[in-house]
Amino acid sequence: MADAPYLKYFGLKEEPFSTVANPRFFFLTPTHSTALEKTRYTVQAGKGLAIVYGQTGTGKSSLARLLHGDFLEKGFRSVLLVNPNFPTPFALLRKIAVEFQVSPTYSYGETLERLKSFLFEHGRNPEAPIVLIVDEAQALRYPLLELLRQMMNYETNEMKLLQLVLFGEDTLRGKLAHALGASFRSRVAMASALYPLTTDEVAEMVAFRWYVASGAKKHPFTEEALVTLFQTSGGVPREVATIADNALLSAFLDKKQTVDRDAIEKAARDRQLHLGHVPKKGNHG
């Protein structure tokens, strides 16, 4: 993948506003930090099931990858599943088994029994719990949730043998509120929610990402540009990054050393024009 043309011009080592879920560029707001700590506690205490809700673009995938990496560094047996839209519970079961290096068979019952044996053999150590993280969990249909619920029943007197963390959009909340999701919902030990950034947090996110990408240089965004960036992005981190990146390219093409309000507005208009996307107005900050 080619580097952005503005890197050398602005003295950057990396793209500061890539929307790839890179933990190094993940800006932790107090809301994100709270969700992170609550989820860590749920896993380390062996409580079983934690859920993090959030609208598209609020950092769920980045937080999931950050947690997964953190768990692996701690010596946990952690697996991260993304886009879990499996056609059948058996397909999901086989995927989970393979990821935990448990050999599946062509029998649902036998595969489940092998995974159960694995959990009872390795899941009793509170210093190295077994963790399954599922991103885009709103894609889980009720039969898949029922399989996960069944696996949550494996426990000792002290702890759940599988620590399950779901990251999903608000539609997951609605799904669990339905009668079909009641049994699964009752097993939630801790739930958190991610929200759009405030005006100050947008400015802090830009400064943080620029610091990481440049090696401590000051960013070129004016104060007016940052306020406009908040307004046009609605404070959604992914929108902030996309509009900021487009504005940075515009400034480079115009041979400007700063990114001003006009550059942000132009980037937002172009995004709306070409993608049919209308950013929400920020309403707090």
* End-of-domain residue from the set 194, 218, 241: 194
Q: Could you tell me which residues come within 8 angstroms of residue 27 by beta carbon, excluding any fewer than 6 positions away? A: 59, 201, 204, 205, 208, 209, 237
Q: Could you tell me which residues come within 8 angstroms of residue 72 by beta carbon, excluding any fewer than 6 positions away? A: 78
Tell me the per-residue pLDDT of 260-277, one tens digit each, with 9 for 90 and over.
999 999 999 988 876 665
The pLDDT of residue 281 is above 60: no
Tell me the per-residue pLDDT of 134-156, one tens digit each, with 9 for 90 and over.
999 999 999 999 999 999 999 99
Let me know whether 94 and 47 are in one domain.
yes
What pLDDT score does 180 carry?
87
Q: Is residue 93 part of a domain?
A: yes
Tell me the per-residue pLDDT of 43-65, one tens digit each, with 9 for 90 and over.
999 999 999 999 999 999 999 99
* End-of-domain residue from the set 194, 211, 238: 194
The pLDDT of residue 285 is above 50: no
Enter the DSSP assignment of 136.
S
Let me know whether 164 and 202 are in one domain.
no
* End-of-domain residue from the set 164, 194, 224: 194
Q: Which two three-digit tokens encode residue 144?
A: 């898949």
Let me know whether 187 and 203 are in one domain.
no
Q: Is residue 242 part of a domain?
A: yes
What pLDDT score does 217 carry?
83
Q: Is residue 148 part of a domain?
A: yes
Q: Is residue 204 part of a domain?
A: yes
Let me know whether 189 and 213 are in one domain.
no
What is the spatial distance between Cα 75 and Cα 229, in angstroms, rounded to a whole number? Answer: 40
Q: Is residue 25 part of a domain?
A: no
What is the spatial distance between Cα 268 and Cα 265, in angstroms, rounded to a whole number? Answer: 5
The pLDDT of residue 1 is above 60: no
Q: What residue spans of the chain are helical by DSSP H?
A: 30-44, 60-73, 89-99, 108-122, 142-151, 170-177, 182-185, 199-214, 223-233, 237-253, 261-275
Let me know whether 143 and 242 are in one domain.
no
Q: Is the pTM of this model over 0.85?
A: yes
C-alpha angle 215-218-223 in degrees, rounded to nearest 5: 145
What pLDDT score does 148 carry?
97
Q: Which domain holds residue 140?
A: 30-194
Enter the DSSP assignment of 200.
H
For the chain, counts of helices (H) and of strands (E) = 11, 5
Average pLDDT value for residue range 236-257:
94
Let me know whether 65 and 187 are in one domain.
yes
Query: What is the dihedral sign for C-alpha 171, 172, 178, 180?
Result: positive
Establish how many alpha carbons lie within 13 A of residue 207's alpha carbon, considering only the half-sphere containing its beta carbon: 11
What pLDDT score does 107 carry?
97
Q: Is residue 258 part of a domain?
A: yes
Cβ-contact 115, 93 below 8 angstroms: yes
